[in-house]
């Protein structure tokens, strides 16, 4: 913590100490300029968490407490929150809590610290614009690696904190207009349809029971079972939002009385509530899923859902004998996510895999996580490997957002996509993986494409910290693991010669997967090799690193020549190494091909052992 604090003050930031297990300072006067920590000598005051004093550091933050509501509010003023979060230079402080985000910016030159203001509703805060306090002092935000009091885990940086971007001009104007009272609410707060324009129900592709629910408004009691259910049925029938809202608000329909009841007779307020509810319903209802009347049918069989979870003989056979595209990695028609740590070889390996399967499939590699220099080499590999490389962020006016919209449109068409393989590098460029609503919507689209036969590969990142079992954890919410067919980790081991050994670790599978191993040469050439237990090798490397200082002590003793066990133990006492520790190290590092020392029986002592460095004459390993 102290070393990180020193790096922050070196960067010109002003800090404040925060008690361990808290999110804010507890002493009076903490936001006074004279109490700020600005030099290395003062960082010793930090003995728990720490915060950034924005007004004294030339920084500010957008603290998103409800992503869905904040995205909607800002979007009405032309500010795309998704674009801000996914920008190449975006810098976030992540707490690991879902539906939240925090973006950090520096103030533009000549702009004074901006007073704090919040957007909120009856449910609580939506987004907090944080910089200066109302009294002209400052507000603060907790900095990594402070420990979050609720999760018990450290805050983490996402992006380069040394190069935070300048506050976008549109956001600056929005902020200034709000604090000055000059902000004019946009005219498109809620798209309230003209309810006096009657809706012809007969023209809608709905079941008779759903139409009856709309007209009578009384087949089932309660707003959830009625309005919510009808909304979902209309979404499944691919009816547009405007028509859905008109239908539910039409005074000629009995269901509209439910809208008025829920809004105390205020139709405009009711329409706003319906619009919000409809947006949520769309995230939970796949547009191409089969139409269902369960929501509007009060006499439905309560066990009708059981069959959805019973596997057919064909599905069981598919698990036992899948159609492999690449054995033990890709099954035809499946949605697979492959997480790996940064620089863990995932792009290099998947580019090679694409070249191996391109003769039999139409292969598309969409890379939005690449630099200009890397694009040239990837283009060369794609040409040689006979697959299509798409670089949305390298094309003027295009981005991964447009790719996702095209996928949504593709999913609405009837097509056989069984000869198509699409690789997306990386998932976080497609959607904010910590935003459950947005992520769920994307996963449903991908599931729809998978149902049409497409094989989809999502490359993803792992969290910095591993689980309690020492295994990596994918970056994102639990919905990701639930929505994919396979989750297969890549576990890398970097070798001394600059090469890398990477082994798969199947985590969730719908097939008989076995771990496989790839080798990446120093010049980034890939080949599949015999299985290597990389996880075990990494454990060995970690243990050897932890033992390094004590290994050096014994190795230094053996430089003068071979010595028996007693001599080594006696010499090590002077270095504060216990007898037990010495014996463990001698046993551990005289075995296997990577041993440091060799062991021989002492010809002059009964049952005694002599140890030497492997390079000692007469002790070379045979």
Q: Which domain holds residue 589?
A: 547-613
Q: If you compute the radius of gyration of the chain from its CA atoms, what whole number of angstroms results?
A: 31
104: nearest Cα among 51, 154, 149: 51
Residue 582: pLDDT over 80: yes
Name the range with the highest mean pLDDT among 356-360, 368-372, 541-545.
356-360
Please indicate, yes or no, whether residues 73 and 165 belong to a single structural domain of this protein.
Answer: yes
146 vs 535, residue with greater confidence: 146
Residue 336: pLDDT over 90: yes
**Is 492 inside a domain boundary?**
yes
**Is 555 inside a domain boundary?**
yes
Contact 516/528 with Cβ under 8 angstroms?
Answer: yes
Please indicate, yes or no, whether residues 152 and 205 belong to a single structural domain of this protein.
Answer: no
Question: Which pLDDT does position 496 carry in this prediction?
Answer: 84
Please indicate, yes or no, whether residues 40 and 99 belong to a single structural domain of this protein.
Answer: yes
**Is 618 inside a domain boundary?**
no
Please indicate, yes or no, whether residues 215 and 94 belong to a single structural domain of this protein.
Answer: no
**Position of tokens 């028609």?**
333
Name the range with the highest mean pLDDT among 87-91, 135-139, 383-387, 594-598.
383-387
**Is 193 inside a domain boundary?**
no
Tokens at residue 100, please? 């939240």
The confidence band for 401, taking pLDDT boundaries of 50, 70 and 90, is confident
In this prediction the pTM is 0.47
Tokens at residue 317, please? 């056979």
**Is 539 inside a domain boundary?**
no
Please indicate, yes or no, whether residues 575 and 442 belong to a single structural domain of this protein.
Answer: no
396 vs 272, residue with greater confidence: 396
Please indicate, yes or no, whether residues 39 and 159 belong to a single structural domain of this protein.
Answer: yes
pLDDT tens-digit profile of 7-31? 999 999 999 999 887 888 887 889 9
**Is 621 inside a domain boundary?**
no
Residue 228: pLDDT over 90: no
Contact 382/389 with Cβ under 8 angstroms?
Answer: yes
Lowest mean pLDDT among 145-154, 313-322, 549-558: 313-322
373 vs 387, residue with greater confidence: 387
Average pLDDT over residues 507-536: 92
Count of the separate structural domains present in the chain: 4
115: nearest Cα among 182, 176, 53, 181: 176
Name the range with the highest mean pLDDT among 257-266, 319-328, 407-416, 527-536.
527-536
**Is 312 inside a domain boundary?**
no
- Peptide linkage before 426 cis (omega within 30 of 0): yes
Please indicate, yes or no, whether residues 436 and 511 belong to a single structural domain of this protein.
Answer: yes
Residue 290: pLDDT over 50: no
Domain boundary among 180, 212, 236: 180
220 vs 569, residue with greater confidence: 569
156: nearest Cα among 463, 466, 369: 463
Please indicate, yes or no, whether residues 468 and 440 belong to a single structural domain of this protein.
Answer: yes
**Is 540 inside a domain boundary?**
no
Average pLDDT over residues 428-457: 83
pLDDT tens-digit profile of 152-202? 788 899 889 999 999 999 999 999 988 888 777 664 443 433 333 456 677
Please indicate, yes or no, whether residues 242 and 215 belong to a single structural domain of this protein.
Answer: yes
Q: How many CA atoms lie within 13 A of 181 on its CB side?
A: 0
Contact 417/449 with Cβ under 8 angstroms?
Answer: yes
Please indicate, yes or no, whether residues 284 and 331 belong to a single structural domain of this protein.
Answer: no
Question: How high is the mean pLDDT of the chain?
Answer: 82
CB burial of 313-352 (b: ≥16 within 10 Å; e: otherwise) equals eeeeebeeebeebbebbbbbbbbbbbbbbeebbbbbbbbb
CB burial of 274-309 (b: ≥16 within 10 Å; e: otherwise) equals bbebbeebbeebbbbeeebebbbbeeeeeeeeeeee
324: nearest Cα among 518, 525, 529, 510: 510
Please indicate, yes or no, whether residues 360 and 470 belong to a single structural domain of this protein.
Answer: yes
193 vs 359, residue with greater confidence: 359
Please return the burial class of 174, using the count of CB atoms within 10 Å of its CB with bins 0-12, 13-18 and 19+: middle
Lowest mean pLDDT among 55-69, 236-250, 344-358, 479-493: 236-250
Please indicate, yes or no, whether residues 395 and 523 belong to a single structural domain of this protein.
Answer: yes
Domain boundary among 275, 296, 317: 296
What does the alpha-carbon distance between residue 324 and residue 357 come to, in Å, rounded to a whole number?
Answer: 11
- Specify the CATH number for the domain of residue 348: 3.40.50.300
116: nearest Cα among 138, 94, 100: 138
What does the alpha-carbon distance between residue 136 and residue 75 come to, in Å, rounded to a whole number?
Answer: 30
Lowest mean pLDDT among 44-53, 203-212, 493-502, 539-548: 203-212
């Amino acid at each position: 913590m102290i070393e990180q604090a020193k790096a922050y003050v070196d960067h010109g930031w002003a800090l404040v100490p925060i008690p361990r297990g808290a999110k804010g300072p507890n002493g009076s006067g903490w936001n006074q300029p004279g109490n700020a920590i600005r030099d290395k000598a003062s960082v010793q005051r930090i003995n728990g968490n720490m915060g950034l004093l924005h007004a004294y550091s030339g920084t500010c933050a957008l603290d998103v407490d409800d992503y869905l509501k904040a995205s909607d509010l800002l979007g009405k003023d032309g500010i795309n929150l998704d674009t801000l979060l996914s920008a190449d230079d975006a810098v976030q402080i992540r707490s690991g809590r879902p539906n939240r985000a925090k973006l950090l910016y520096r103030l533009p030159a000549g702009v004074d610290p901006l007073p704090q203001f919040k957007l909120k509703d009856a449910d609580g805060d939506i987004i907090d614009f944080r910089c200066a306090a109302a009294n002209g002092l400052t507000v603060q935000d907790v900095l990594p690696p402070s420990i979050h009091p609720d999760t018990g885990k450290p805050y983490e940086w996402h992006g380069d904190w040394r190069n935070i971007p300048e506050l976008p001009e549109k956001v600056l104007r929005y902020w200034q207009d709000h604090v000055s009272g000059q902000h004019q609410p946009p005219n498109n707060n809620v798209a309230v349809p003209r309810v006096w324009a009657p809706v012809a129900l007969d023209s809608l592709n709905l079941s008779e029971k759903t139409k009856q629910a709309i007209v009578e408004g009384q087949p089932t009691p309660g707003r959830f079972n009625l309005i919510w259910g009808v909304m979902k049925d209309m979404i499944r029938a691919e009816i547009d939002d405007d028509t859905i809202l008109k239908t539910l608000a039409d005074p000629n329909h009995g269901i509209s009385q439910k809208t008025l009841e829920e809004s105390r007779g205020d139709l405009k307020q009711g329409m706003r509530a319906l619009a919000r509810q409809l947006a949520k319903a769309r995230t939970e209802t796949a547009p191409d899923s089969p139409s269902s009347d369960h929501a509007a049918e009060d006499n439905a069989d309560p066990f009708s859902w059981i069959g959805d979870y019973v596997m057919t003989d064909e599905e069981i056979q598919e698990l036992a004998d899948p159609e492999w595209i690449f054995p033990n990695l890709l099954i035809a028609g499946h949605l697979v996510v492959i997480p790996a740590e940064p620089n863990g070889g995932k792009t290099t390996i998947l580019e090679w895999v694409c070249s191996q399967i391109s003769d039999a499939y139409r292969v598309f590699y969409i890379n939005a996580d690449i630099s200009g220099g890397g694009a040239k080499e990837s283009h060369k590999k794609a040409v040689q490997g006979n697959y299509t490389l798409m670089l949305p962020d390298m094309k003027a006016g295009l981005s991964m957002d447009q790719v996702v919209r095209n996928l949504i449109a593709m999913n609405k068409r009837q097509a056989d996509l069984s000869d198509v393989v699409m690789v997306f590098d990386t998932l976080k460029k497609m959607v904010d993986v910590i935003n459950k609503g947005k992520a769920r919507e994307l996963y449903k689209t991908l599931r729809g494409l998978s149902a049409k036969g497409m094989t989809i590969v999502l490359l993803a990142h792992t969290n910095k910290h591993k689980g309690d079992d020492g295994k990596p954890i994918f970056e994102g919410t639990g919905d990701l693991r639930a929505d994919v067919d396979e989750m297969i980790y890549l576990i890398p081991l970097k070798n001394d010669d600059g090469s890398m050994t990477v082994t798969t670790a199947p985590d969730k599978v719908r097939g008989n997967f076995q771990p496989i191993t790839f080798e990446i040469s120093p010049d980034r050439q890939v080949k599949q090799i015999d299985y290597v237990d990389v996880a075990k090798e990494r454990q060995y490397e970690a243990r050897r690193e932890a033992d390094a200082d004590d290994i050096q002590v014994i190795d230094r003793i053996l430089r003068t020549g071979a010595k028996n066990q007693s001599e080594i133990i006696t010499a090590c006492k002077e270095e504060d190494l216990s007898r037990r520790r010495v014996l463990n190290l001698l046993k551990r590092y005289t075995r296997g091909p990577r041993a440091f020392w060799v062991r021989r029986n002492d010809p002059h002592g009964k049952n005694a052992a002599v140890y030497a460095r492997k390079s000692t004459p007469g002790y070379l390993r045979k």
